[in-house]
Amino acid sequence: MTQLAARLGLELPLLQAGMGAVAGPGLCAAVSRAGAGGTLALYKEPPARAVRLVREVAAATGRPFGVNVVPEAAGPAACLDQLRAVLPELPRSAFVTSFGLPDADAAGAVRAAGHPLVVQVGTVADAGSALGLGAAVLVLQGTEAGGHLLGRLPVDSLLADVRARYPYALLAVAGGIATGRDLAGAVARGADGAMAGTLFVPAEESIAHPEFKRRVVEAVADDTLVTSLFDIGWPHRPHRVLRNPLTAATTAAATAKRAPATFIATTRVDGREHPVPRYSAAAPGAGTTGRIEEMAMYCGRSCTRVTARLPAAVIVARLGREYESARGNSSPRPTPRPTPRPNRLQERYR
Ligand SMILES: Cc1cc2nc3c(=O)[nH]c(=O)nc-3n(C[C@H](O)[C@H](O)[C@H](O)COP(=O)(O)O)c2cc1C
């Protein structure tokens, strides 16, 4: 048990990342039932559908789970609408995770509803801003991570910098976590826990496209790269993806005269078809048909250690066992820290 697990009511200090086109109610509920922080992706879901998805999770687990918003992709107004719709539906034990800084209204709505706010950041400056917004937990994302990248530092450097500046903050790391040994290593280096995304992409309950799952299982770290190619629907944010025919030519010159953004696939949601242009930020889900191999398959460098399609309960149980045994064997033991107390910024919002 770490302070982070205690704060969020988890058995294991591990959060599953909210992931658009991957983390639906089935994955979220299965991870939550297994004792980790299952999280439902709201990404660009319209509020009415978001409410239905939250109700599905709440009906399937009595344990804490999270809902994830992406203010930068959804837009601040739409993000606030999502939150206003789902907050009244959440059980008391639920938490809310935000990819990047939410605005003051969104953070205030989460706090007013009494749910812990978990904010993922990629810089020391944003860590301070997130604490100023009342974040209960910070997720420090390193450049090893799959998906969109919030900063430029490898995860260990970011952790060391943020821990030095905010000794009492609850910190999880994101990027490079796929085993219990990875988690134990992060805790030994001063983290209170971790968030993993790529690890759960091939889970049985994940709604990622089967081809996406297959590629993640087969990939090693160097099959991923950071690009800005998949910018339709979420511009100006570099992202780590699996290499594919489009990324093969990602020199600046090739990007400038890239192939036309014609529709290459279709995603069916609630019986309605949504065309997917080439270079869309949307990842291929179970309901996507077309040129899957040309779509954005977000994947972290941790994929080397993700080697099977398993039920989420098995993934979490195995990671928990590895974590316990790695902690038992770890030498030296983690540096003792003073009993956590809120820092001045957090105190203001108590
Ligand atoms: C397929 C995929 C989709 C993602 N989508 C989201 C998202 O919708 N919201 C979010 O907060 N983070 C998202 N992320 C990023 C994660 O929050 C996290 O930073 C990352 O998964 C950590 O690195 P790892 O994938 O190596 O574990 C996504 C990551 C992946 C791999």
Spacing, Cα 19 to ligand 1 middle (Å):
5
What average pLDDT score do residues 233-258 get? 84
pLDDT band at 338 (very low <50, low <70, confident <90, very high): low
Q: pLDDT tens digits for 70-86?
A: 999 999 999 999 999 99
Ligand 1: does its nearest atom lie under 6 Å from the Cβ of 180? no
Mean of the per-residue pLDDT values for the chain?
93
Residue 62 pLDDT exceeds 50: yes
Ligand 1: does its nearest atom lie under 6 Å from the Cβ of 150? no
pLDDT band at 332 (very low <50, low <70, confident <90, very high): very low
Q: pLDDT tens digits for 23-37?
A: 999 999 999 999 999
Spacing, Cα 17 to ligand 1 middle (Å):
6
* Total Cβ atoms within 10 A of residue 206: 25
| Domain spans in the chain, listed from the N-terminal domain onward | 3-204+306-334, 219-303
Residue 59, classed as helix, strand or coil, is helix
Residue 188 pLDDT exceeds 70: yes
Spacing, Cα 197 to ligand 1 middle (Å):
5
Strand-pairing partners, residue 145, are none
Query: In this predicted structure, what is the pLDDT of residue 254?
Result: 63
* Total Cβ atoms within 10 A of residue 19: 26
Query: In this predicted structure, what is the pLDDT of residue 258?
Result: 82
Ligand 1: does its nearest atom lie under 6 Å from the Cβ of 177? yes
Query: In this predicted structure, what is the pLDDT of residue 341?
Result: 54
Strand-pairing partners, residue 97, are 68, 118
Per CATH, domain 3-204+306-334 is 3.30.390.50 = no
pLDDT band at 243 (very low <50, low <70, confident <90, very high): very high
Q: pLDDT tens digits for 116-170?
A: 999 999 999 999 999 999 999 999 999 999 999 999 999 999 999 999 999 999 9
Ligand 1: does its nearest atom lie under 6 Å from the Cβ of 198? yes
Strand-pairing partners, residue 276, are 265
Ligand 1: does its nearest atom lie under 6 Å from the Cβ of 122? no
